[in-house]
Structure 1
Amino acid sequence: MKLSVIITTYNSEEWLEKVLIGYLKQSINDFQIVIADDGSTEKTKNLIASFQSKFKFPIVHVWQPDEGFQKCKILNKAILEAKSDYLLFTDGDCIPREDFIAKHLKHKEKGYFLSGGYFKLPLKTSKMINDNDILNENCFSINWLVKNGVKKSFKLSKLTKNGIFAAFMNWVTTTKKTFNGHNTSCFKEDLLAINGFNEEMDYGGLDREVGERLFNHGVLAKQIRYSAICLHLDHERKYADKSKILNNLAIRKFNKKNNITWIKNGIKKD
């Protein structure tokens, strides 16, 4: 297989189903899906089972008990279960465009991770999207989105498939090249070299912190936010905690200042 897609989820079957349909539509089928499940109920397990026969490789469902927000912990488990040497990280609320995997494979390069983009949908439009809208790519049409609750804005230009325009926008955008949990790919060996995700971190910048340690390790980043696109479905974030977000910021600040690469509470526990 050319790539392993690691998808995080937690009790969001309605969104995860749309996402998996998006992966059925990919222009390349030589990939593995690993679901990093932070304690969902049997409903998620049953949904995944219903998709098992539809992909070239069996979906790997990595599950842990629900003991609060432990995304870093389940991601580290998923990394070890991934069979490919190249990993694409995304979330169970992000529908991939049909060229999503192809774009990541096209731009992958040793010594780099890829920083992709997303277009965030309002809740009304998120719920409106059905199976056919994903399979025929209606939901990636700017005209369709505007007709179905999305306000016109320059951000919609992310969905333009013109390769020259995308390359130009990747070059001129002022958005930093960061490790984004919804759309980033990298070599597995690079993540293992920094001991994966930091399990001391809760919600809020945990993915960016990985990228910052990769930078400290000498890995660079490429911007593909206008080339590799996914639609972000709207949802609540009841797990957001201001005090924990501030703690995460302190960890990131310390790691940057001290050029930290390896963390103690990651894939391996020191």
Structure 2
Amino acid sequence: MKNRNFSVGILVSTYNWPQALEVIFKSIMQQTHQPDEILIADDGSGAETAALIERYRSIFNIPLKHAWQEDAGFRKSTILNKAIKLAEADYIIEIDGDIVLHPAFIEDHVRHARRGIFVQGARTMISEHKTREILATGQPDINFFSSGISNRFNSVHLPSLSFLIRANSRSSENIKGCNLAFWKDDFIAINGYNNLFHGWGSEDYEFAARLINTGVLKRRLKLAAVCYHLHHSCNSREQEQVNQRRYSEAVVKRLTFCTNGYAEV
């Protein structure tokens, strides 16, 4: 791993959940392979989140960069673009602000990084009770044997066998931005995320579709890059159908570029 010739950034999207963000920070500190920078995509959080980030700047020995925008509803695509504007890393590992990392999460992603592909990892779901326990202790102590997790297979960490599990490399279905990795220059080439996506849903599908349409193929990663999803209430689905139509357009028209994206923020 020490011989890699590219730099790595971990990109964390967040909104007004500093307790979860602190657990994420602690799970980053436990990584066997530290990132070269941490990028926070903050969709309008308040002062408590800003203070937490400022405190951890003095704890981490790597750059911790904070992109913030005014709270004007769910605008995840736009803030992700703004955060990547701050990035110096060659390779970006994207997670959501409700994701706790296995200690080898970054190491696994770096090992599987290849030019011409992006990587979609899996997640294990944490129950409401177990989530309360983790947030109460402030510690990211969870593993395959923990109580209070579902779809437990996704928490199996056997990276030497991950090559056995494959998926359609040209399908943008079932893409999740909570565990996603890509090259920054591929991101820029398609103009990043589409800023027209407001509200929950399909922004990651549409982003992946444009990557695939340019010839950057998907690698489905299992048994490695394990992460755990903290329980929370669902976001509003009000814009889901509009966003789904926008994604379908990218697939049908084989779009490779969005006209309102990374370059426009």
Q: CA deviation at 1:162?
A: 2.5
Q: Which residue of 2 aligns with 1:245?
A: 240
Distance across 2 between alignment mates of 1:124 and 1:173? 35
Instruction: State the AA in 1 paired with 2:53.
Output: I
Write out per-residue CA displacement over residues 188-243 of structure 1, whole angstroms, 9 at most, x where no aligned residue.
010111111011112101111100110011101111133111110011134331xx
Q: CA deviation at 1:165?
A: 4.4
Secondary structure of 1:228's partner?
A: coil
- For the 8 Å contact 1:179–1:210, the answer to whether it is kept is no
Distance across 2 between alignment mates of 1:132 and 1:79? 28
Write out per-residue CA displacement over residues 62-94 of structure 1, whole angstroms, 9 at most, x where no aligned residue.
101111111111011011111101111111110
- For the 8 Å contact 1:120–1:234, the answer to whether it is kept is yes
Moved over 6 A (4+): none
Distance across 2 between alignment mates of 1:255 and 1:120? 30
Secondary structure of 1:157's partner?
A: helix
Instruction: State the AA in 2 paired with 1:98.
Output: P
The CA RMSD measured in Å over matched residues stands at 2.1
Distance across 2 between alignment mates of 1:58 and 1:14? 21
- Overall identity of the aligned pairs, in %: 29
- For the 8 Å contact 2:23–2:139, the answer to whether it is kept is no
Counterpart pick for 1:186 among 173, 182, 196: 182
Distance across 2 between alignment mates of 1:217 and 1:166? 26
Q: Which residue of 2 aligns with 1:85?
A: 90
Distance across 1 between alignment mates of 2:167 and 2:254? 28
Q: CA deviation at 1:167?
A: 3.6
Q: Which residue of 1 aligns with 2:3?
A: none
Distance across 2 between alignment mates of 1:115 and 1:108? 11
Counterpart pick for 2:215 among 194, 214, 218: 218
Q: Which residue of 2 aligns with 1:99?
A: 104
Structure 2: segments with no counterpart, 5+ residues:
1-5
Distance across 1 between alignment mates of 2:178 and 2:47? 24
Judged with a 3 Å threshold, the aligned counterparts in structure 2 of structure 1 residues 108 and 172 are, in CA distance, closer, same or farther, namely closer
Distance across 1 between alignment mates of 2:84 and 2:175? 15
Instruction: State the AA in 2 paired with 1:216.
Output: N
Counterpart pick for 1:39 among 33, 37, 44: 44
Q: CA deviation at 1:158?
A: 2.1
Q: CA deviation at 1:55?
A: 1.8
Instruction: State the AA in 1 paired with 2:110.
Output: L
Secondary structure of 2:106's partner?
A: helix
Q: CA deviation at 1:166?
A: 3.8
Secondary structure of 1:120's partner?
A: strand
Superposition pairs for residues 108-257 of structure 1, below 5 Å?
A: 108-129=113-134, 133-134=139-140, 138-142=141-145, 145-146=146-147, 149-150=148-149, 155-168=151-164, 170-171=165-166, 179-202=175-198, 203-241=200-238, 244-257=239-252
Q: TM-score, normalised by structure 1?
A: 0.88
- For the 8 Å contact 2:118–2:217, the answer to whether it is kept is yes
Distance across 1 between alignment mates of 2:78 and 2:193? 7
- For the 8 Å contact 1:113–1:185, the answer to whether it is kept is yes
Kindly tell me the number of residue pairs found equivalent between the two proteins. 256
Structure 1: segments with no counterpart, 5+ residues:
none
Judged with a 3 Å threshold, the aligned counterparts in structure 2 of structure 1 residues 200 and 172 are, in CA distance, closer, same or farther, namely closer
Q: TM-score, normalised by structure 2?
A: 0.90
Q: CA deviation at 1:133?
A: 4.8
Secondary structure of 1:73's partner?
A: helix
Instruction: State the AA in 2 paired with 1:54.
Output: I
Q: Which residue of 2 aligns with 1:21?
A: 26
Secondary structure of 2:77's partner?
A: helix
Q: Which residue of 1 aligns with 2:81?
A: 76
Distance across 1 between alignment mates of 2:149 and 2:121? 21
Instruction: State the AA in 1 paired with 2:219.
Output: K
Distance across 1 between alignment mates of 2:139 and 2:39? 24
